[in-house]
Amino acid sequence: MVESATVAADTGVKRNQWQLWLLVILLIYLLLAAVGAIGDGFKSASGDNARELFSFASNPLIALVVGLLATALIQSSSTVTSIIVGLVAGGLPISIAIPMAMGANIGTSLTSTLVSLGHVRNGQEFRQAFAAATVHDAFNLLAVFILLPIEILFRPLERASLVFAELLVSDSSVSMSDFNVMKMLLAPAGDVLNAMTAWLPGILSGLALIALGIALILFVVTKIGKILRLLLVGKAKDIMHSAVGRGPLAGIASGTVMTVLVQSSSTTTALIVPLAGTGVFTIRQVYPFTLGANIGTTITALLAATAIHGPMAVLALQIALVHLFFNLAAILVIFGTPVLRDVPIWIAENLARLAQINKLYVIAYIAGVFFVLPLVAIGIGRII
Protein backbone atom coordinates (compact mmCIF):
# COMPACT_ATOMS: atom_id res chain seq x y z
CA MET A 1 0.00 0.00 0.00
CA VAL A 2 2.78 2.40 1.04
CA GLU A 3 4.99 1.24 -1.85
CA SER A 4 2.26 1.86 -4.44
CA ALA A 5 1.67 5.33 -2.97
CA THR A 6 5.40 6.06 -3.31
CA VAL A 7 5.46 4.78 -6.90
CA ALA A 8 2.39 6.89 -7.69
CA ALA A 9 4.07 9.95 -6.16
CA ASP A 10 7.26 9.29 -8.16
CA THR A 11 5.26 8.92 -11.38
CA GLY A 12 3.45 12.15 -10.58
CA VAL A 13 6.73 13.99 -10.03
CA LYS A 14 8.19 12.61 -13.29
CA ARG A 15 5.06 13.60 -15.24
CA ASN A 16 5.29 17.07 -13.71
CA GLN A 17 8.96 17.28 -14.74
CA TRP A 18 8.12 16.24 -18.29
CA GLN A 19 5.46 18.94 -18.40
CA LEU A 20 7.96 21.50 -17.17
CA TRP A 21 10.52 20.45 -19.77
CA LEU A 22 7.88 20.75 -22.48
CA LEU A 23 7.14 24.22 -21.16
CA VAL A 24 10.84 25.08 -21.40
CA ILE A 25 10.89 23.95 -25.03
CA LEU A 26 7.80 26.05 -25.73
CA LEU A 27 9.39 29.06 -24.06
CA ILE A 28 12.57 28.64 -26.11
CA TYR A 29 10.38 28.52 -29.21
CA LEU A 30 8.70 31.76 -28.14
CA LEU A 31 12.12 33.32 -27.47
CA LEU A 32 13.26 32.52 -31.00
CA ALA A 33 9.98 33.81 -32.42
CA ALA A 34 10.33 37.03 -30.40
CA VAL A 35 13.89 37.61 -31.65
CA GLY A 36 12.69 37.11 -35.20
CA ALA A 37 9.82 39.54 -34.56
CA ILE A 38 12.22 42.21 -33.35
CA GLY A 39 14.28 41.77 -36.50
CA ASP A 40 11.19 41.98 -38.71
CA GLY A 41 9.84 44.94 -36.76
CA PHE A 42 13.10 46.80 -37.01
CA LYS A 43 13.34 46.16 -40.74
CA SER A 44 9.77 47.31 -41.18
CA ALA A 45 10.19 50.44 -39.03
CA SER A 46 13.54 51.53 -40.37
CA GLY A 47 13.33 50.38 -43.99
CA ASP A 48 16.77 51.03 -45.40
CA ASN A 49 17.49 53.60 -42.73
CA ALA A 50 18.55 51.40 -39.83
CA ARG A 51 21.81 53.27 -39.44
CA GLU A 52 19.99 56.63 -39.29
CA LEU A 53 17.48 55.33 -36.74
CA PHE A 54 20.30 54.46 -34.38
CA SER A 55 22.59 57.32 -35.39
CA PHE A 56 22.30 58.74 -31.84
CA ALA A 57 24.16 55.62 -30.69
CA SER A 58 26.74 55.66 -33.45
CA ASN A 59 29.24 56.88 -30.88
CA PRO A 60 30.44 53.73 -29.08
CA LEU A 61 30.27 55.38 -25.67
CA ILE A 62 26.64 56.26 -26.17
CA ALA A 63 25.90 52.74 -27.45
CA LEU A 64 27.64 51.43 -24.32
CA VAL A 65 25.40 53.59 -22.14
CA VAL A 66 22.28 52.38 -23.97
CA GLY A 67 23.24 48.76 -23.27
CA LEU A 68 24.13 49.55 -19.66
CA LEU A 69 20.93 51.43 -18.83
CA ALA A 70 18.65 49.00 -20.67
CA THR A 71 20.14 46.10 -18.69
CA ALA A 72 20.07 47.97 -15.39
CA LEU A 73 16.36 48.70 -15.96
CA ILE A 74 15.39 45.21 -17.06
CA GLN A 75 17.92 43.46 -14.82
CA SER A 76 18.65 40.84 -17.42
CA SER A 77 21.63 40.89 -19.74
CA SER A 78 20.20 37.78 -21.46
CA THR A 79 17.11 39.77 -22.44
CA VAL A 80 19.07 42.78 -23.67
CA THR A 81 21.59 40.75 -25.68
CA SER A 82 18.75 38.74 -27.25
CA ILE A 83 17.09 42.03 -28.21
CA ILE A 84 20.39 43.23 -29.68
CA VAL A 85 20.59 40.03 -31.77
CA GLY A 86 17.09 40.74 -33.09
CA LEU A 87 17.96 44.36 -33.85
CA VAL A 88 21.13 43.35 -35.71
CA ALA A 89 19.05 40.92 -37.74
CA GLY A 90 16.81 43.87 -38.55
CA GLY A 91 19.71 46.01 -39.74
CA LEU A 92 21.30 47.57 -36.65
CA PRO A 93 24.97 48.06 -37.56
CA ILE A 94 27.36 45.71 -35.77
CA SER A 95 29.58 48.66 -34.87
CA ILE A 96 26.75 50.02 -32.70
CA ALA A 97 25.68 46.62 -31.34
CA ILE A 98 29.10 45.66 -30.01
CA PRO A 99 29.45 48.44 -27.40
CA MET A 100 25.77 47.88 -26.49
CA ALA A 101 26.54 44.26 -25.68
CA MET A 102 29.52 45.39 -23.59
CA GLY A 103 27.25 47.80 -21.70
CA ALA A 104 24.84 44.94 -20.96
CA ASN A 105 27.64 43.25 -19.01
CA ILE A 106 27.92 46.23 -16.64
CA GLY A 107 24.20 46.77 -16.11
CA THR A 108 23.54 43.22 -14.94
CA SER A 109 25.39 43.60 -11.64
CA LEU A 110 22.76 45.81 -9.97
CA THR A 111 20.88 42.71 -8.78
CA SER A 112 23.74 41.39 -6.68
CA THR A 113 24.27 44.87 -5.21
CA LEU A 114 20.61 45.00 -4.17
CA VAL A 115 20.89 41.55 -2.58
CA SER A 116 23.94 42.68 -0.61
CA LEU A 117 21.94 45.55 0.91
CA GLY A 118 19.97 42.95 2.85
CA HIS A 119 23.05 42.44 5.04
CA VAL A 120 23.33 46.13 5.90
CA ARG A 121 22.44 45.68 9.58
CA ASN A 122 25.52 43.56 10.25
CA GLY A 123 28.68 45.53 9.54
CA GLN A 124 31.11 42.68 8.78
CA GLU A 125 28.49 40.69 6.83
CA PHE A 126 27.57 43.74 4.81
CA ARG A 127 31.21 44.45 4.02
CA GLN A 128 31.76 40.90 2.78
CA ALA A 129 28.48 40.76 0.85
CA PHE A 130 28.98 44.18 -0.76
CA ALA A 131 32.52 43.27 -1.80
CA ALA A 132 31.26 40.04 -3.38
CA ALA A 133 28.56 41.99 -5.22
CA THR A 134 30.83 44.76 -6.51
CA VAL A 135 33.75 42.59 -7.60
CA HIS A 136 31.63 41.57 -10.61
CA ASP A 137 30.94 45.16 -11.55
CA ALA A 138 34.57 46.16 -11.00
CA PHE A 139 35.67 43.39 -13.34
CA ASN A 140 33.14 44.32 -16.01
CA LEU A 141 34.01 48.02 -15.83
CA LEU A 142 37.71 47.20 -16.11
CA ALA A 143 36.99 44.88 -19.04
CA VAL A 144 35.19 47.64 -20.92
CA PHE A 145 37.87 50.17 -20.00
CA ILE A 146 40.54 47.94 -21.54
CA LEU A 147 38.75 46.20 -24.40
CA LEU A 148 36.42 48.89 -25.78
CA PRO A 149 39.24 51.20 -26.94
CA ILE A 150 41.05 48.22 -28.46
CA GLU A 151 37.84 47.22 -30.24
CA ILE A 152 37.26 50.75 -31.53
CA LEU A 153 40.81 50.98 -32.88
CA PHE A 154 41.43 47.49 -34.24
CA ARG A 155 38.06 45.67 -34.20
CA PRO A 156 39.48 42.31 -33.10
CA LEU A 157 36.17 41.06 -31.69
CA GLU A 158 34.26 42.07 -34.81
CA ARG A 159 36.76 40.42 -37.12
CA ALA A 160 37.17 37.20 -35.14
CA SER A 161 33.42 36.77 -34.63
CA LEU A 162 32.77 37.30 -38.35
CA VAL A 163 35.21 34.53 -39.26
CA PHE A 164 33.55 32.10 -36.87
CA ALA A 165 30.02 33.18 -37.81
CA GLU A 166 30.68 32.62 -41.50
CA LEU A 167 32.13 29.20 -40.72
CA LEU A 168 29.22 28.18 -38.51
CA VAL A 169 26.28 29.48 -40.51
CA SER A 170 25.43 27.01 -43.25
CA ASP A 171 24.96 28.56 -46.63
CA SER A 172 21.34 27.85 -47.66
CA SER A 173 22.21 28.22 -51.33
CA VAL A 174 24.40 25.15 -50.98
CA SER A 175 21.51 22.91 -49.85
CA MET A 176 19.81 21.04 -52.60
CA SER A 177 16.26 21.89 -51.63
CA ASP A 178 16.95 25.37 -50.16
CA PHE A 179 14.97 24.19 -47.15
CA ASN A 180 15.41 25.97 -43.84
CA VAL A 181 14.13 24.02 -40.85
CA MET A 182 14.20 26.92 -38.39
CA LYS A 183 12.35 29.17 -40.84
CA MET A 184 9.64 26.56 -41.27
CA LEU A 185 9.30 25.92 -37.54
CA LEU A 186 9.18 29.59 -36.57
CA ALA A 187 6.91 30.70 -39.40
CA PRO A 188 3.60 30.06 -37.57
CA ALA A 189 4.63 32.06 -34.48
CA GLY A 190 6.16 34.78 -36.62
CA ASP A 191 2.94 35.07 -38.63
CA VAL A 192 0.85 35.38 -35.44
CA LEU A 193 3.09 38.09 -34.03
CA ASN A 194 3.10 39.97 -37.32
CA ALA A 195 -0.68 39.71 -37.59
CA MET A 196 -1.05 41.26 -34.11
CA THR A 197 0.57 44.47 -35.28
CA ALA A 198 0.07 44.52 -39.06
CA TRP A 199 -3.20 46.49 -38.76
CA LEU A 200 -1.26 49.51 -37.44
CA PRO A 201 -0.33 52.14 -40.02
CA GLY A 202 3.16 52.63 -41.43
CA ILE A 203 6.10 52.73 -39.08
CA LEU A 204 3.86 52.07 -36.05
CA SER A 205 3.37 48.44 -37.00
CA GLY A 206 7.14 47.91 -37.03
CA LEU A 207 7.60 49.67 -33.70
CA ALA A 208 4.73 47.72 -32.15
CA LEU A 209 6.28 44.47 -33.37
CA ILE A 210 9.58 45.45 -31.76
CA ALA A 211 7.80 46.27 -28.49
CA LEU A 212 5.90 42.99 -28.61
CA GLY A 213 9.13 41.08 -29.27
CA ILE A 214 10.88 42.80 -26.36
CA ALA A 215 7.99 42.10 -23.98
CA LEU A 216 7.89 38.48 -25.08
CA ILE A 217 11.64 38.02 -24.61
CA LEU A 218 11.44 39.53 -21.14
CA PHE A 219 8.55 37.24 -20.23
CA VAL A 220 10.27 34.16 -21.65
CA VAL A 221 13.66 34.79 -20.03
CA THR A 222 12.01 35.37 -16.64
CA LYS A 223 9.81 32.29 -16.87
CA ILE A 224 12.53 30.02 -18.26
CA GLY A 225 14.81 31.02 -15.39
CA LYS A 226 12.17 30.11 -12.78
CA ILE A 227 11.28 26.79 -14.41
CA LEU A 228 14.88 25.73 -14.98
CA ARG A 229 15.57 26.61 -11.38
CA LEU A 230 12.84 24.20 -10.27
CA LEU A 231 14.09 21.48 -12.57
CA LEU A 232 17.80 21.91 -12.10
CA VAL A 233 18.40 23.32 -8.62
CA GLY A 234 19.72 19.91 -7.59
CA LYS A 235 22.14 19.87 -10.53
CA ALA A 236 23.16 23.45 -9.74
CA LYS A 237 24.00 22.44 -6.17
CA ASP A 238 25.97 19.42 -7.42
CA ILE A 239 28.00 21.67 -9.68
CA MET A 240 28.78 24.06 -6.85
CA HIS A 241 29.67 21.17 -4.53
CA SER A 242 32.09 19.82 -7.12
CA ALA A 243 33.90 23.17 -7.28
CA VAL A 244 34.50 23.43 -3.52
CA GLY A 245 38.14 23.13 -2.58
CA ARG A 246 39.32 23.31 -6.16
CA GLY A 247 41.05 26.16 -7.93
CA PRO A 248 39.77 29.19 -9.81
CA LEU A 249 39.26 27.30 -13.07
CA ALA A 250 36.74 25.07 -11.32
CA GLY A 251 35.09 28.23 -10.01
CA ILE A 252 34.85 29.69 -13.51
CA ALA A 253 33.50 26.40 -14.89
CA SER A 254 30.88 26.06 -12.16
CA GLY A 255 29.78 29.69 -12.61
CA THR A 256 29.43 29.09 -16.34
CA VAL A 257 27.41 25.88 -16.04
CA MET A 258 25.21 27.22 -13.27
CA THR A 259 24.37 30.34 -15.28
CA VAL A 260 23.51 28.21 -18.31
CA LEU A 261 21.24 26.11 -16.07
CA VAL A 262 19.33 29.03 -14.51
CA GLN A 263 19.61 31.24 -17.61
CA SER A 264 20.53 34.33 -15.64
CA SER A 265 23.90 35.76 -14.67
CA SER A 266 22.12 38.25 -12.37
CA THR A 267 20.69 35.33 -10.38
CA THR A 268 23.95 33.39 -10.27
CA THR A 269 26.05 36.32 -9.13
CA ALA A 270 23.39 37.40 -6.64
CA LEU A 271 23.17 33.88 -5.18
CA ILE A 272 26.75 33.92 -4.03
CA VAL A 273 26.37 37.27 -2.25
CA PRO A 274 24.74 35.74 0.86
CA LEU A 275 27.31 32.94 0.78
CA ALA A 276 30.09 35.52 0.85
CA GLY A 277 28.24 37.71 3.36
CA THR A 278 28.30 34.98 5.98
CA GLY A 279 32.02 34.57 5.39
CA VAL A 280 31.69 30.97 4.20
CA PHE A 281 33.17 31.92 0.82
CA THR A 282 35.91 34.52 0.48
CA ILE A 283 35.92 37.17 -2.23
CA ARG A 284 38.80 35.33 -3.92
CA GLN A 285 36.64 32.21 -4.16
CA VAL A 286 33.60 34.12 -5.34
CA TYR A 287 35.47 36.11 -8.00
CA PRO A 288 36.09 33.25 -10.52
CA PHE A 289 32.48 32.18 -10.10
CA THR A 290 31.26 35.60 -11.27
CA LEU A 291 33.57 35.38 -14.29
CA GLY A 292 31.99 32.05 -15.17
CA ALA A 293 28.58 33.72 -14.96
CA ASN A 294 29.74 36.20 -17.62
CA ILE A 295 30.46 33.32 -19.99
CA GLY A 296 27.34 31.33 -19.14
CA THR A 297 25.03 34.22 -19.89
CA THR A 298 26.21 34.41 -23.51
CA ILE A 299 24.36 31.18 -24.27
CA THR A 300 21.04 33.03 -24.52
CA ALA A 301 22.22 35.35 -27.28
CA LEU A 302 23.74 32.38 -29.12
CA LEU A 303 20.42 30.59 -28.83
CA ALA A 304 18.58 33.71 -30.00
CA ALA A 305 20.83 33.90 -33.07
CA THR A 306 19.56 30.52 -34.26
CA ALA A 307 16.19 32.21 -34.87
CA ILE A 308 17.63 34.28 -37.67
CA HIS A 309 17.91 32.79 -41.14
CA GLY A 310 18.88 34.04 -44.55
CA PRO A 311 21.49 36.72 -45.21
CA MET A 312 21.20 38.24 -41.71
CA ALA A 313 21.98 34.94 -40.00
CA VAL A 314 25.71 35.57 -40.13
CA LEU A 315 25.35 39.02 -38.55
CA ALA A 316 23.03 37.74 -35.83
CA LEU A 317 25.45 34.96 -34.93
CA GLN A 318 28.33 37.41 -35.19
CA ILE A 319 26.97 39.71 -32.47
CA ALA A 320 26.20 36.71 -30.24
CA LEU A 321 29.78 35.51 -30.71
CA VAL A 322 31.09 39.02 -29.98
CA HIS A 323 29.36 38.83 -26.60
CA LEU A 324 31.01 35.46 -25.93
CA PHE A 325 34.46 36.47 -27.21
CA PHE A 326 34.37 39.73 -25.26
CA ASN A 327 33.77 37.88 -22.00
CA LEU A 328 36.40 35.25 -22.80
CA ALA A 329 38.92 37.93 -23.78
CA ALA A 330 38.20 39.87 -20.58
CA ILE A 331 38.94 36.79 -18.48
CA LEU A 332 42.14 36.06 -20.42
CA VAL A 333 43.37 39.65 -20.21
CA ILE A 334 42.35 40.54 -16.65
CA PHE A 335 42.17 37.26 -14.75
CA GLY A 336 44.96 35.76 -16.81
CA THR A 337 47.36 38.59 -16.03
CA PRO A 338 48.82 38.58 -12.50
CA VAL A 339 49.12 42.38 -12.49
CA LEU A 340 45.47 42.93 -13.39
CA ARG A 341 43.88 39.91 -11.72
CA ASP A 342 43.54 41.43 -8.29
CA VAL A 343 42.46 44.91 -9.41
CA PRO A 344 38.72 44.12 -9.25
CA ILE A 345 39.21 42.57 -5.80
CA TRP A 346 41.15 45.62 -4.63
CA ILE A 347 38.40 47.94 -5.92
CA ALA A 348 35.61 45.83 -4.37
CA GLU A 349 37.32 45.43 -0.99
CA ASN A 350 38.08 49.12 -0.63
CA LEU A 351 34.61 50.12 -1.75
CA ALA A 352 33.13 47.69 0.78
CA ARG A 353 35.39 49.04 3.53
CA LEU A 354 34.16 52.58 2.79
CA ALA A 355 30.54 51.40 2.54
CA GLN A 356 30.78 49.76 5.96
CA ILE A 357 32.00 53.04 7.47
CA ASN A 358 29.40 55.20 5.73
CA LYS A 359 26.40 53.87 3.83
CA LEU A 360 26.38 56.98 1.63
CA TYR A 361 29.20 55.36 -0.32
CA VAL A 362 26.68 52.74 -1.46
CA ILE A 363 24.47 55.46 -2.90
CA ALA A 364 27.53 57.13 -4.42
CA TYR A 365 28.56 53.84 -6.03
CA ILE A 366 25.12 53.09 -7.50
CA ALA A 367 24.63 56.70 -8.62
CA GLY A 368 28.17 56.77 -9.97
CA VAL A 369 27.94 53.63 -12.08
CA PHE A 370 24.36 53.95 -13.26
CA PHE A 371 23.92 57.71 -13.52
CA VAL A 372 27.17 59.69 -13.44
CA LEU A 373 29.19 57.31 -15.61
CA PRO A 374 26.51 57.20 -18.33
CA LEU A 375 26.22 61.00 -18.28
CA VAL A 376 30.01 61.41 -18.48
CA ALA A 377 30.18 58.87 -21.30
CA ILE A 378 27.43 60.70 -23.20
CA GLY A 379 29.24 63.99 -22.63
CA ILE A 380 32.53 62.60 -23.88
CA GLY A 381 30.69 61.00 -26.78
CA ARG A 382 29.32 64.36 -27.85
CA ILE A 383 32.71 66.05 -27.62
CA ILE A 384 34.66 63.40 -29.57
Contacting residues toward other proteins, per CB under 8 A: 111, 114-118, 120-121, 229, 233, 236-237, 240-241, 244-245, 266-267, 270-271, 274-275, 278, 280-281, 358-360, 362-363
Q: Is 173 helix (H, G, I), strand (E, B) or coil?
A: coil
Residue 23 φ/ψ, nearest 5 degrees: -65, -40
Q: How far apart are CA 256 and CA 253, in angstroms?
A: 5
Residue 34 vs 240, nearer CB to other proteins: 240
Q: How far is the CB of 302 from other proteins (least distance, A)?
A: 24
Which CB atom, from 120 or from 211, has the smaller least distance to other proteins? 120
Least spacing, CB of residue 107 vs other proteins, in Å: 15
Closest contact distance (angstroms) between CB of 221 and other proteins is: 15
Are 36 and 83 in contact, with CB atoms under 8 Å apart? no
d(CA 87, CA 76): 17
Q: Mutual orientation of helices 123-154 and 265-277 as an angle, nearest 10°?
A: 140
Q: For other proteins, which is the closer residue by CB, 202 or 245?
A: 245
Nearer to other proteins, 14 or 226 (CB): 226
Task: Report which of 38, 56, 55, 42 is spatially closest to residue 91, judged by C-alpha positions.
Answer: 42
- Min separation Cβ 82 and other proteins, Å: 21
Nearer to other proteins, 289 or 325 (CB): 289
Task: With beta carbons less than 8 A apart as the criterion, state whether 157 and 329 touch.
Answer: yes
Closer by beta carbon to other proteins, 273 or else 322: 273
Q: Using the minimum distance from each CB to other proteins, give the nearer residue, 161 or 266.
A: 266
State the minimum distance, in angstroms, from the CB of residue 356 to other proteins: 12
CB atoms within 10 A of CB 384: 8
Which phi and psi (to 5°) does residue 95 adopt? -65, -25
Closest CB 280 distance from other proteins, rounded Å: 4
**Which helix or strand (DSSP H or E) is residue 376 part of?**
helix 373-383
Report in angstroms how near the CB of residue 172 gets to other proteins at its nearest. Answer: 42
Q: Select 111 or 294, whichever has its Cβ closest to other proteins.
A: 111
**Sign of the C-alpha dihedral computed for residues 336, 160, 72 and 371 taken in this order:** positive
Residue 139, phi then psi, degrees to nearest 5: -65, -45
3-class DSSP state for residue 54?
coil
Q: How far is the CB of 293 from other proteins (least distance, A)?
A: 13
Q: How many CA atoms lie within 13 A of 44 on its CB side?
A: 22
Return d(Cα 163, Cα 191) in angstroms, integer.
32
